[in-house]
Amino acid sequence: MTDPHHILTLTTLLGALGMWLMLPRGTARGRGVGILLASIALGLGASQVPRLGDWLADSVFLILAATTVVSAAAAVTFRNPLYCAIWFGQSLVGTAGLFFFTGAQFLAVATVVVYAGAILVTFLFVLMLAQPEGKAPYDRVSWEALVSAVTGMVIVGVLSMTIGRVFSPAVPPLHPLVPPTAEVLAAGILTPQHVARLGGELFGRHLIAVEVVGVLFLVALVGAAAIVAHQKTD
């Protein structure tokens, strides 16, 4: 059982079973077992990923990744949509931490400001407006919980095995990955003038895309107003 194939397959199955038991199915029976199985799967998976080579970096990364993934799973499985939205917010904070960890400082800030600050608050606003009493009967039963849990987790398992090159470790890759050196990174993506370089790139090479996004914002604004106004005249 020490073969990585077997461990990853077991992880996938445990994760699918755990997600199924955690999803709302009309009864609360088995949720604890589901949480236990999903945690075991997460631990097994974490034991299989390659190490970064530095215990401090490893522990920071693992804490951030666990925060992100666990909160995302909670956001998907909680019955009360209010709690779903709040767990999603925590998952966003974990994502922002992961962005910081890899040197994407502006994106980390933008994720917190735009996603957690604007989009999530709008969600909560609509939720409070539409469903102020919290849980509804349709939040307690899902469509085809087992099928979707197995589908999602099998996709994750296959992707992880491909990423970890478990399928064919003996066959050399067509284009071997050449990691960048520290000097190259320090002059490029990890430069101290991060935001200046990013802004230069955004308003230089991608200027037309920025203009197009501005038009897209205008169209979305007009469209949203039109949808809501149309409803009023009905």
Partner 1 sequence: MPNEIALLDNYLIVGALLFGIGMIGFLSRRNMIVMFLSLEIMLQGVSISLVAWSRFHNDFGGQMLVIFIIAVAACEAALALAIVLTLFARRGKLDVVDWQLLREANQPLFQEEALPETPAEQEEPLPHLAPAGVEPHVSTEETDYRPGV
Question: Which has the closest alpha carbon to 67: 88, 38, 40, 83?
Answer: 88
Evaluate whether 106 touches 194 at the Cβ level (below 8 Å).
Answer: yes
**Rounded least distance, CB 17 to partner 1, Å:** 12
Of 71-110, which residues contact partner 1 (CB under 8 A)?
72-73, 75-77, 80-82, 84-85, 88, 91-92, 95, 98-99, 102-104, 106-107, 110
Residues 6+ away with beta carbon under 8 Å from 176 = none
Of 1-30, which residues contact partner 1 (CB under 8 A)?
19, 23-24, 26-28
Residue 116 contacts partner 1 per CB under 8 A: no
Residue 220 contacts partner 1 per CB under 8 A: yes
**Rounded least distance, CB 114 to partner 1, Å:** 5
Give the interface size with partner 1 as a residue count (CB under 8 A): 104
Residue 208 contacts partner 1 per CB under 8 A: no
Evaluate whether 110 touches 134 at the Cβ level (below 8 Å).
Answer: no
- The contacts found for 125-132 with CB under 8 angstroms, 24 or more apart, are 127/81, 127/82, 127/85, 131/81
Whichever of 50 and 171 has its CB closer to partner 1, that residue is: 50
Residue 59 contacts partner 1 per CB under 8 A: no
Residue 55 contacts partner 1 per CB under 8 A: no
Whichever of 28 and 36 has its CB closer to partner 1, that residue is: 28
Count H helices and E strands in the chain, helices first: 10, 0
Residue 54 contacts partner 1 per CB under 8 A: yes
**Rounded least distance, CB 1 to partner 1, Å:** 21
120-130 vs 81-101: helix axis angle to the nearest 10? 180
Whichever of 163 and 171 has its CB closer to partner 1, that residue is: 163
Considering only 47, 193, 231, 233, the residue that binds partner 1 (CB under 8 A) is 231
**Rounded least distance, CB 39 to partner 1, Å:** 14
Whichever of 36 and 220 has its CB closer to partner 1, that residue is: 220
Residue 22: both structure tokens together? 């955690």
| Binding-site string for partner 1 from residue 140 to residue 169, where x marks contact by CB under 8 A and - marks none | xxxxxx-xxx-xxx-xx--xx--xx-----
Cα of 107 vs its chain's centroid, Å: 15
Residue 196 contacts partner 1 per CB under 8 A: no
Looking from the CA of 73 toward its CB, the CA atoms found within 13 Å total: 23
Evaluate whether 80 touches 134 at the Cβ level (below 8 Å).
Answer: yes
The backbone torsions φ and ψ at residue 180, rounded to the nearest 5 degrees and listed phi first, read: -70, 150
